[in-house]
Amino acid sequence: MAEKHFKYVILGGGVAAGYAAREFAKQGVQPGELAIISKEAVAPYERPALSKAYLFPEGAARLPGFHTCVGSGGERLLPEWYKEKGIELILSTEIVTADLASKTLTSAAGEVFKYHILIIATGSSVIKLTDFKVQGADAKNILYLREIDDADKLVEAIKEKKGGKVVIVGGGYIGLELSAVMLLNKLDVTMVYPEPWCMPRLFTADIAAFYEGYYANKGVKIIKGTLAVGFESHANGEVKVVKLKDGRELEADIVVVGVGARPLKNLFKGQLEEDKGGIKTDAFFRTSVPDVYTVGDVATFPMKMYGDIRRVEHVDHSRKSAEQAVKAIKASEVGEAIEEYDYLPYFYSRSFDLSWQFYGDNVGDAVIFGDSSPESEKPKFGFYWIKDGKVVGVFLESGTPEENKAIAKVAKLQPPAESLEQLANEGLGFASKI
C-alpha cells in the first residue's frame, strides 16, 4: 500500500479531535495538511450525549444532531465541513503500531501514515469485567458505554426487554446517568456499587445522600458496599442473574457496567514519558518527544492553579486541551508564544430534573448550604470546600447560568472565608459578591 503523508495527524476521533480540527481551521490549515484517524465509523461527536439524550424513550438524540462542536454552543461540524476545509477523515481505521522515531503510524489493514506533527487524542477505553475474569461476564446483554456502537447495542436491548430488569454495576457518572435514563424507559432499575456512597471521588457523604434519596424516591433500588462477582445465563447466552459478593442474587435482563476507564496509551509504551497513569506533557501539551502532543484523557499536565500535575477525564478538559495544543503548534511555527494552560477543573451532570456543576478542588473542609432534602419539590443546594482559609471548590445543584458563573469565579479566585459557619449562612450570597 502507498504511504499517506500529512503535516498534521490527530490520532483518535473523539471529542478532542473535533475541537482540535476546529482550532486548526480557525488558525489556518491548508487542504491536505490535516488528517484525523479514528477507529470509529463516524465523524467526531459529543460523547456525553450517549448516556443522556441518546437513550431517551422519546425525542432521542441521533447523529448528525450532536457532532462536535455543539456541546459548547459552537458550530456542528458535519462530515461535509471536514471536506470543505480539506481535512481528511480516515474512519474505521485502527492504528496498531506507532513508531515515533520514524513518525510512522500503521493500521491493522497495513496502511502506513506519515506525519510531521502528531496529536494523540486516543481517549480512554472502558474497564470490562472480563478483564478480571469475572465468572459469566461474557454473557449477552452485559453492556458497556463508551462509543456510539455501545449506545446502539443498549438501545436495542432496551427495545427487546421492555419492562424488564436492569442492573447497573457502578455508582459513578455512568451508573447515575444510566439509572435515570433506564427508569425513563420504564425498566426496573437496581444500581450496585462497592463504595459507601455514590460518586465518592467527588461527592461528600451529604451530597451523595441527596442523590441516593432522590433516586430511591424515583424508584431506583440501590445496593451499596458490595460487588458483582459472577453472572448466570439463559440457554440462549443472555444474562439472567447477577451474583453479588454479599451472597445476594439479582434477576437481570440487561446489565450495564460502568466501573471506570483506562487511558489508551499502549501504542506509545516506552516511547513517551509517563506520569500518574497518563502521558506526561507540559503546559502546551508537548510530550517528551518533539512534534508529539497529547490531549484529553491521556494527558498528564501541569495544573497551574494548584502547582501540581494531574490527569483529568472530562469532556471540558478534552475540548480545551485540544484547542490549547493546536494554538501551541501554530504559534511555534511562527515563533510566537502563547499563555500556559491554566485549567479550572469543571464537572457536571444532568439526570431526571436535576443538574449540578462543580468547579475547583474538593479538598479540605466542606460545608453545605440550601435545601438538600430529596423530598423537596425543587431542591437547590450547594457545597463549599475550604483549605488554608480559602474557598477552593464549589458544588451547586439546580443553579441558574448566572449562579453557575458565580461559583466558577469563586473556585478560580479562591477568596478567603472567615469560617464554615459564614459560608453556610451566606450560601450563594457569598459567591454572588465575589
CATH number at residue 367: 3.30.390.30
In a domain? residue 97: yes
Q: What is the pLDDT of residue 215?
A: 98
Q: Same domain, yes or no, for 187 and 238?
A: yes
> Do 178 and 277 belong to one domain?
no
Q: So what's the pLDDT on residue 434?
A: 87
- State whether residue 83 is helix, strand or coil: helix
Identify whether 207 is part of a domain: yes
Domain that holds residue 427: 353-432
* Residue where one domain finishes, among candidates 283, 302, 333: 333
β 112-120/292-294 pair status: parallel
Q: Which residues of the chain have pLDDT under 70?
A: 1
Residue 348 in domain: no
User: Do both 289 and 253 map to the same domain?
Assistant: no
**What's the pLDDT score for residue 202?**
95
For residues 121 and 267, state if they share a domain. yes
On whether both 140 and 230 belong to a single domain, the answer is: yes
Q: What is the pLDDT of residue 252?
A: 98
CATH code for the domain in which residue 145 is found:
3.50.50.60
Q: What is the pLDDT of residue 233?
A: 97
210 & 238 share domain: yes
In a domain, 341, yes or no: no
The residues with which 142 forms a beta bridge, in sequence order, are 255
Write the DSSP assignment of 162-205 as a string of letters: TT-EEEEE-SSHHHHHHHHHHHHTT-EEEEEESSSSSSTTT--H
Assess if residue 346 is contained within a domain.
Answer: no
Do 112 and 185 belong together in one domain?
Answer: no
pLDDT in the model for residue 243 = 98
Q: Are residues 41 and 141 in the same domain?
A: no
- Matching residue, cell 482559609: 389
Same domain, residue pair 108 and 38: yes
Domain count, the chain: 3
Say if residues 427 and 369 touch (Cβ distance below 8 Å): yes
Reported pTM? 0.96
The 10s digit of each residue's pLDDT in 214-257 is 999 999 999 999 999 999 999 999 999 999 999 999 999 999 99
CB of 171 within 8 A of CB of 195? yes
Q: What are the helix and strand counts (H, E) for the chain?
A: 9, 26
